[in-house]
Structure 1
């Protein structure tokens, strides 16, 4: 297998679906099939295929949400292949950056995301160095970065904006990998030129190339940028020299972003350091909290922790304090009495803060074998929250609540799902169909809306995942033909190869036991990486700046 093919397989198997989806969703078998069928798809003009992505809504903070994308696999294959085949040129461009924490490596090792997550340790260390050497710094980011990216900015960043403008009609430019990347991204979102999908690792790579271009434009004004800047994705920290004002730095940034039709986020722009308030970061208090060993005081300690965390969440509405607090709480070593108290607090924090709900759902499943697990109360909580999430089309919360219901072997009343079965979400739909086939839904369910996607048009729609997966699994609630899949020029090959995107046997990988965090039935590198990350998040090794991961 060539290096290019290894990169392609990694991007399609472990860097495709958003990390935030529940465990059953995977793309491993798709990657193997796509690699095998490259020549066949090329002959069938895969470059002409267009589709809509599924929008998967996740909470950020307060009432702010982020739209992730579950991109059609045929279009994602095109983007991933162009990046894999032209990686040396793309990597060379990314390496032009002197301030990014991004590591330009596509990891091909099994069970790891191809693109490394943000190195917050490095960011924290650099931020302290900049404060020490300059006394002040500007912190800012780009307004709605991924949704605002102009797809034509991809070739601008890779080839140069002037070259692209001057040669836009030339055959050389039209057939360049950079222009083909622009087209491949657009074709996966109904040819829209505004925005790139959030979720796939390929988008992280493309976003990095654009910000490297922004850096170059900033450097033409701030020549010593490499000495006083650090960047992670679109977040920038730049030291302010003695003879400068914050306005000077912001002007240079605004001018550079304008070249790529992007804008500074005024709401998140701040000056930190000498002459300005140096506020206390909430994250330090939460991560250093310790539960006492006296059984009589455990409940009081939990009350203090959660009440303090909720106050910090109120005071820091633009950060997902509740999620971090829930993760910290999951690591406490507790007695049986304390465990029950923690479970109720976790349910309350999830009720107040949607950003913590998915993690709390996983936590509840991990505690189901506990001596004092309140099964009835947890069941009522999940059923109520399903109705709430369905009302607001909050697909992320719905997916995790439904998955938790499956793992807890709950029986879900059909009327709880009246709104759910009318949502345009394959992720939610497949978990519902899984529950239905397991006999875990009591009463009649009206699947008529979802059946409308059982055709070739459905395979190009935002419901492509349901359209394909329900056919391959025989999950449609009525006897429906599957030839719209088997005869399709691209999905037909996946059908023949028995490719599946939903693994019915997948379980939650983490168990938060009395002695800390452990792997539950998963000794894979990925499982260990998840455990390590959760431990790191609540350890003393976390440096200043980590709070940005929860904003």
Structure 2
């Protein structure tokens, strides 16, 4: 069914606002939600809230950890700035929906059952994602893979009008004379999410996917007209060619098209392969072969399988090897002692890879709540090390379990969380209901200077929660918080 502007607006505000794009929505704990941020409330915000003139807004930074331990900065934009962009996209959706018809892109922008526009399958094998293209690659002898260097931070906001209405037309219809034209309004609203900067877009909300597709779909159209057979997953390109020279021509033309929009290829990740290639990455094949298939999983079988996965994770550091292996085991029927073994093993591995922490949810659900307290030391250690390393997801998930199962947070852990200044982690510490820790969080919030608007924006989600709980006064001189509170908006749902 074709997306309409109302579907787009509702999805952007209520379902794809926070950086929760994976199938399981497990980038951050499930206490965070924007379902009460309805189009009606957002419209009221736009119509009645006091707005900044030119400096724009900053965002809450959420540092999500990759498999190799490197963090990826995602954003939760200020609600007023985000509402303005969401409405601008929705209002002009009919001029932008060409991105939903791009056959080359494997990221499908559509209405999903849970209301989202974008669901990303980051964890699947790159070769597996290409398997749907088998018919189109029949007879091809070579494959070339490449991606765009530093993609989202390199997107130039002024390039969006170039993609929307054409380079020459956009150049001849620039602000200030044509400031109110819809394509220039998209540019302006994008900049207002990031301090009015022209370089880079806020990653996390579905707006980032829509905006990037606006540019890359235009590039895909040019490459397709040249006769290339290729597919694209976000900014990862795979082309199928008859000769190696054709592959090199694809790289040359792609590079030229990207340069028009001030983007560059990542030469270090440009590789050529002879066909055929396996439909799955090698580590997936090995893990599937090694997966135990007995009626009940034993400790020995689980340990042997995870040892294989650990070995493979060193050979394939960019793959989701350990996550794949643990998820394969968690869904199996197992002995009680095997479940406790898996919990201990997952905690041990999560100390090194915080991305594994969400897997504990299902494991903890299948043991008595009181028994989760046995793992208090491990969860506190994980929270502490992630506070030191400034990993938002590692801190948030560890604190989520400590809060959910009423396990005490150690004072040194709380101190490290406060020191991290991480907005998401500070909220989770506040939700512990520990009076001492709550006071520390409130003292931190009160220490933010109201004159430093960007500092406030980087913690707006925490400040708003404290405001609606009547712990602090509105730190802003505008009325955004008052409007949201009056309309019963709450971005935290403890359940």
TM-score range, shorter chain: 0.7 to 0.9
Distance 1:322 1:77 in 2: 38
- Normalized against structure 1, the TM-score is what? 0.80
Which one of the candidate residues 447, 452, 457 is aligned to 1:452?
447
Matched, 1:186 2:191: yes
Matched, 1:488 2:487: no
Distance 1:7 1:279 in 2: 34
Partner-residue secondary structure (3-state), 2:56: coil
Which residue of 2 is the match for residue 541 of structure 1? none
Which one of the candidate residues 122, 140, 143 is aligned to 2:149?
143
Distance 1:418 1:346 in 2: 25
* Residues 338 and 279 (structure 1), Cα distance of their counterparts in 2 relative to 1, 3 Å cut: closer
Distance 1:490 1:82 in 2: 19
Which residue of 1 is the match for residue 23 of structure 2? none
User: What displacement does 1:386 show?
Assistant: 1.3
Partner-residue secondary structure (3-state), 1:502: coil
Distance 1:146 1:208 in 2: 11
Which residue of 1 is the match for residue 381 of structure 2? 384
Which residue of 2 is the match for residue 250 of structure 1? 251
Distance 1:51 1:39 in 2: 14
User: What displacement does 1:286 show?
Assistant: 2.4
User: What displacement does 1:11 show?
Assistant: 1.4
Which residue of 2 is the match for residue 317 of structure 1? 317
Which residue of 2 is the match for residue 215 of structure 1? 220
Check conservation: 1:365, 1:404, Cα contact below 8 A: no
Question: More deviation in 63-72 or 455-464?
Answer: 455-464
User: What displacement does 1:15 show?
Assistant: 1.1
For structure 1, which runs of at least 5 residues remain unmatched after alignment?
506-551
Check conservation: 2:158, 2:187, Cα contact below 8 A: yes
Check conservation: 2:339, 2:363, Cα contact below 8 A: no
User: What displacement does 1:47 show?
Assistant: 7.5
Distance 1:40 1:84 in 2: 16
Distance 1:367 1:456 in 2: 49
* Residues 167 and 491 (structure 1), Cα distance of their counterparts in 2 relative to 1, 3 Å cut: same
* Residues 284 and 177 (structure 1), Cα distance of their counterparts in 2 relative to 1, 3 Å cut: farther
Check conservation: 2:131, 2:279, Cα contact below 8 A: no
Distance 2:111 2:89 in 1: 10
User: What displacement does 1:291 show?
Assistant: 2.5
Which residue of 2 is the match for residue 417 of structure 1? 414
* Residues 122 and 163 (structure 1), Cα distance of their counterparts in 2 relative to 1, 3 Å cut: farther
* Residues 336 and 102 (structure 1), Cα distance of their counterparts in 2 relative to 1, 3 Å cut: closer
* Residues 224 and 493 (structure 1), Cα distance of their counterparts in 2 relative to 1, 3 Å cut: same
Question: More deviation in 417-426 or 28-37?
Answer: 28-37
Which residue of 2 is the match for residue 510 of structure 1? none
- 1:233-248 matches, cutoff 5 A: 233-242=234-243, 244-248=245-249
Question: More deviation in 260-269 or 193-202?
Answer: 260-269
Check conservation: 2:77, 2:202, Cα contact below 8 A: yes
- Normalized against structure 2, the TM-score is what? 0.88
For structure 2, which runs of at least 5 residues remain unmatched after alignment?
21-26
Which residue of 2 is the match for residue 362 of structure 1? 361
Which residue of 2 is the match for residue 462 of structure 1? 458
User: What displacement does 1:117 show?
Assistant: 3.6
Distance 2:277 2:289 in 1: 26
Matched, 1:114 2:127: no
Check conservation: 2:140, 2:242, Cα contact below 8 A: yes
CA offsets per residue over residues 422-446 of structure 1, 9 Å max, x none? Answer: 23322111111110x256x689847
Question: More deviation in 62-71 or 305-314?
Answer: 62-71
* Residues 48 and 366 (structure 1), Cα distance of their counterparts in 2 relative to 1, 3 Å cut: farther
Partner-residue secondary structure (3-state), 1:137: strand
CA offsets per residue over residues 392-432 of structure 1, 9 Å max, x none? Answer: 11111101110011112101122221121123322111111
Which residue of 2 is the match for residue 540 of structure 1? none
Distance 1:47 1:31 in 2: 25
User: What displacement does 1:285 show?
Assistant: 2.7
Question: More deviation in 325-334 or 455-464?
Answer: 455-464
CA offsets per residue over residues 154-176 of structure 1, 9 Å max, x none? Answer: 1111111222223224734x222
Q: How many residues align?
A: 483
User: What displacement does 1:381 show?
Assistant: 0.4
